[in-house]
Amino acid sequence: MKLGVNIDHVAVLREARRVNDPDILNALYVACQNGADQITIHLREDRRHIQDADAYSIMKHSALPVNLECSINKSILNIVTDLKPHRATLVPEKREEVTTEGGLDVFTYEDEISYAIELLHDYIIPVSLFIDPSIEAVEKSKELGAEMVELHTGSFANIFAMLNSSLSHSNHSIKELDLPRHELSIRLEKSIAAISEAAKHAKKIGLEVAAGHGLNYHNVSHMMSIAEITELNIGQSIVAKSVFSGLAQAVKEMKRLTTR
């Protein structure tokens, strides 16, 4: 399995203070040196984390292939064709959303998506489409000319978290999933089956298959058991864990500097 490490969240922390710390290139080097197979970044229209300059310097310095996520907005696509990443992953984007909610609507926006794919192909950039796990969306992705699909695992991850973590007792509990445990278990099985069937169908019709969104240290094993998925793109949980694997050392270091 290929691991794409999404380093956007390091830039989220930097942008929260509008400084140059943490340095995104340090995140790139650490990911490259510790087993990542690919670097994933999302150049959002609102530039809430990765900036254009980050994307250019990551392209210049990355020792690993770069998977650039982007919307089908024409001005963003123009930057992507100039950046020439190893792959572009087309994702839906709404300014007000906290993160990418739901997959690309490959039916409503088929003309725009097909234009984007043709444009990217003109620049020899392979294209993946970030879609909800359904056979219909997989078939449409193939018809539109994509080489790959990334199956959106957000719904699976939400059900998993409501069933197996303290999320349902927190301020971020998901109202639509405030359901009896047996109902959540049934939905979890169904969501895994939908991902598995979509992955099998995608492979059968000649598409490469990735998956991502909301994957973490507890739920990732379910994706590992789907043989057709050959790549996972993971960001939030890796950056969240790194706070705790590094916080003790960071406090110790500052204590040393502030001890007379």
The verdict on 67 binding ligand PXP (CB under 6 A) reads no
Catalytic pick from 9, 49, 201, 213? 213
* Piece in contact with ligand PXP (CB under 6 A), picked from 45-53, 179-187, 235-243, 252-260: 235-243
Can 150 be counted among the known catalytic residues? no
Classify residue 146 by its DSSP letter. -
Positive/negative CA dihedral, 40, 93, 161, 228: negative
- Kindly give the residue spans of alpha helices, DSSP state H, lying in the chain: 8-17, 24-33, 52-61, 74-83, 110-122, 135-144, 154-164, 181-204, 220-224, 236-257
Among 93, 214, 222, 229, binds ligand PXP (CB under 6 A): 214
Q: Are 173 and 113 in contact (CB under 8 A)?
A: no
Nearer to ligand PXP, 186 or 224 (CB): 224
Query: What does the alpha-carbon distance between residue 168 and residue 179 come to, in Å, rounded to a whole number?
Result: 10
Write each residue from 104 to 143 as x if it is in contact with ligand PXP (CB under 6 A), else as -, in one continuous string.
Answer: --------------------------x-------------
Among 54, 132, 150, 208, binds ligand PXP (CB under 6 A): 150
Closest CA to 230 of 144, 149, 139: 149
Min CB(188)–ligand PXP separation in Å = 17
Q: Which two tokens stand for residue 179?
A: 């359901």
The verdict on 87 binding ligand PXP (CB under 6 A) reads no
Query: What does the alpha-carbon distance between residue 69 and residue 92 come to, in Å, rounded to a whole number?
Result: 10
Q: Count interface residues toward ligand PXP (CB under 6 A).
A: 19
Q: Any idea which residues carry the catalytic annotation? A: 42, 69, 213
Contact residues toward ligand PXP (CB under 6 A) are 6, 8, 42, 69, 89, 91, 99-100, 130, 150, 212-215, 233-237
